[in-house]
Structure 1
């Protein structure tokens, strides 16, 4: 305990543990509890919910809307986080290593700006870009009649999330690349390795742990991201209704809190499974 003694050490961490318990552990346990009840937002079941066991979970697994949302969430995470943010973040970090400092700082600032802006502000900006009624993209392409958010909802969400979330990957890879020995890159260049060969044979072995950590974090963040609701509200016809949006609509629009909590519990289990897989891969790397 670094010489503090057990009592003092516990006293130092107690405020953090209290916050974690109140804002993370308790809501998770409460979600699991009401997931096995018929808890409603209003009505008699709101005042006196009754236990239904695993009926909610069975109904969720048999729900076509849940299956559709699960598939869309997987596409959203794979396209915008695992591939999009990872690739673009690394590309920016790699290309900005040797540019002039003012250009690097300007580029990093612009990328960070997209990340730190509030979600509603970013969603409004992209809605203005993709809107059919005078949207910026339609005017640039001389095609003002295309409703991008209606005709290509998931593609629009993937591009939006890549644009917004790349900053974290860029910062993490920038830090990781600083730890790669320059002598090894110079040796690779002298023996005739091209850029891709140097990245594959020299850089990736050094930053593999960072790649796994980054992929884990951005995957979990994307799987639980509610921002798509601000752009498409899950439409049209459930074509962009990822799991957080479906849970919101079932809980607050439909009033089925118990049913929505069962969905949330399944999403939580999915997050834990993904986290355990990544942690296992990290241990193998170590």
Structure 2
């Protein structure tokens, strides 16, 4: 039971607010003041662009012509057009090949291999390898793309000079393989750093116990390392998949060519919306891309929850 304290003012009795109520009210007001800027930022930079993209995807808005001046509402026509267009499905299939080849298989496997191989070498050698790998990750995308264009140049490129295949056009004859290798080179550093930290956190006693019973390197990986870093593997897989799925960097190397052979989904959206001028259709495709991202994220979250329960 609560007690109320009253004071007499001019013969009238008025309840006195408790100190706790005052503090609670003041705390709520202050919380509102501090939260308001964050809500404004979220609304301006996240909510408004999302709503504007949804509206844009339901119009026939174009960069030029009548539709630029007075776009019309077309409902779901853009989404239906995208889903029934063979070019969209071809771009999606190329994106899946690119994600699996350069992200899940390339960056994760190579990143883990580097992290595993350098764990016991001398500090200076380990630091040198990590710096070389990180350099590809931190340099500007335009610089990295220029380096790879110079390497694959058909006249005086580094690759042709090393292999003695002067005049061979790698970016024309093997465009998808080229951008897969490029993206592996760019993004492997993240997986290497994450797996290095994860492997370093595995209790040394478990690894030593496995060695004492005669476990091979593969058995140590299978029975000790991987079970201890399953959470890191899942997190890395999710991040690498989303980053690779949404990356636009390969456009700097091949511009989606030749003949659309490297036109992954992000490049396809760009070509549709900017050079093609169909902003409404491009916005609709970008929303489909967002839905695919959400499905991927929800799928990984579900797997993560099931693993945590087991």
The TM tier, using the shorter chain, reads over 0.9
SS in 2 for 1:284: helix
Among 151, 157, 162, the alignment partner of 1:140 is 162
Q: What is the match of residue 129 of structure 1? A: 151
Query: Structure 1 residues 181 and 238, CA, compared in 2 at 3 Å: closer, same or farther?
Result: same
Among candidates 45, 53, 59, match of residue 67 of structure 2? 45
TM-superposed CA distance for 1:27, in Å, is: 2.0
Aligned to 1:73: 95
User: Could you say which residue in structure 1 is the equivalent of 2:218?
Assistant: 196
SS in 2 for 1:253: coil
Alignment partner of 1:273 is 2:295: yes
1:19 CA displacement = 3.4
The correspondence for 1:264, drawn from 274, 277, 286, is: 286
Q: Distance in 2 between matches of 1:246 and 1:71?
A: 12
Tell me how large the CA RMSD over aligned residues is. Answer: 1.5
Please tell me whether residue 100 in structure 1 is matched to residue 122 in structure 2: yes
Tell me the residue number matched to 2:246: 224
Distance in 1, Cα, partners of 2:117 & 2:40:
43
CA displacement, residues 29-63 of structure 1 (integer Å, 9 cap, x when unaligned): 22111111101112221222111111111111111
Distance 1:93 1:17 in 2: 40
In the alignment, the residues of structure 2 paired with residue 144 and residue 14 of structure 1 have an alpha-carbon distance, to the nearest angstrom, of 62
Give the number of equivalent residue pairs.
Answer: 284
CA distance in 1, matches of 2:288, 2:59: 15
What's the counterpart of residue 212 of structure 1?
234
Deviation digits for residues 74-94 of structure 1 (CA, Å, limit 9, x no counterpart): 000011111111101111111
TM-score by length of 2: 0.88
Partners of 1:87 and 1:78 lie apart in 2 by: 11
2:206: which partner in 1? 184
User: Deviation string for 1:153-186 (max 9, x for gaps)?
Assistant: 0000111101110011111111111211110001
Aligned pair 1:24/2:46, yes or no? yes
CA change 1:139–1:52 in 2 (3 A) is same
Stretches of structure 1 that go unaligned for 5 or more consecutive residues are none
Cα distance in 2 for residues equivalent to 1:155 and 1:224: 18
Q: Deviations over 1:199-225 (max 9, x none)?
A: 111111111111111111111111111
Distance of 1:276 and 1:110 partners within structure 2: 35
> What is the rounded CA distance, in whole Å, between the counterparts of 1:248 and 1:204 in structure 2?
39
Higher relative contact order (CA 8 A, sep 6+): 1
Instruction: Determine whether 1:249 maps to 2:244.
Output: no
Deviation above 3 Å: which 4+ runs of structure 1?
3-21
Corresponding residue number in structure 1 for 2:5: none
Structure 1 equivalent of residue 85 of structure 2 = 63
Deviation sequence 1:233-273 (CA, Å, 0-9, x none)? 11111111001111101111010000111110110000000
Query: Is 1:85 matched with 2:107?
Result: yes
Alignment equivalent of 2:140, drawn from 103, 118, 138: 118
CA distance in 2, matches of 1:13, 1:133: 59
* More deviation, 81-90/8-17: 8-17
Higher alpha-carbon deviation: 103-112 or 16-25: 16-25
